[in-house]
């Protein structure tokens, strides 16, 4: 299936590369063997009608980032609502801390399949 919508230009203007560079470098230096970053922007429109009359119309936008890591075979995850390279780096370090803390409870170590 071919996508019918283009990626929003406002999303493309977000500092995606700077966020990724900061998060991935911080995760690696903190001990992660794998890290990935997700940047999202969610737009929501709510329209409520009663008997055909408009009651409510609300438009909202939310942005954020999430970092997922593997440290010694254990997943870690952290997220934040601010899109700044320093925040991305700190979020990555927090994800590594989560993985490190959870490692003691993890009985099955994660091993990613090789990429082609």
Where exactly are the structural domains of the chain? 15-105
Order of strands across the sheet that contains 74-80:
34-50, 53-71, 74-80
The pLDDT tens digits of the residues spanning 97-116 come to 999 999 999 899 999 998 88
Q: Which of 8, 14, 6 is nearest to 65 (CA)?
A: 14
CATH 3.30.2290.10 assigned to 15-105: yes
Structure tokens at 74: 């254990």
CA distance to 29, 68, 92, 107, per residue, from 24 (Å): 9, 10, 7, 26
Look at residue 2 and tell me whether its pLDDT is greater than 70.
no
The pLDDT tens digits of the residues spanning 9-64 come to 888 889 999 999 999 999 999 999 999 999 998 889 999 999 999 999 999 989 99
Render the burial of 46-75: b for 16+ CB within 10 Å, e for the rest. eeeeeeeeeeeeeeeeeebbbbbbbbeebb
Structure tokens at 60: 């909202």
- pTM reported for the whole predicted model: 0.82
Distance CA 68, CA 49 (A): 41
Number of H helices, E strands in the chain: 3, 3
């Amino acid at each position: 299936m071919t996508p019918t919508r283009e990626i929003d230009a406002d999303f493309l203007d977000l500092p995606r590369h700077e966020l990724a560079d900061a998060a991935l470098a911080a995760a690696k230096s903190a001990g992660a063997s794998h890290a990935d970053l997700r940047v999202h922007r969610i737009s929501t429109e709510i329209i409520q009608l009663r008997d055909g009359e408009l009651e409510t119309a609300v438009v909202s936008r939310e942005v954020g980032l999430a970092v997922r890591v593997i440290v010694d075979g254990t997943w870690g995850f952290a997220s934040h609502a601010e899109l700044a390279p320093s925040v991305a780096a700190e979020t990555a370090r927090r994800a590594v801390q989560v993985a490190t803390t959870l490692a003691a409870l993890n009985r099955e170590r994660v091993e990613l399949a090789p990429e082609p």
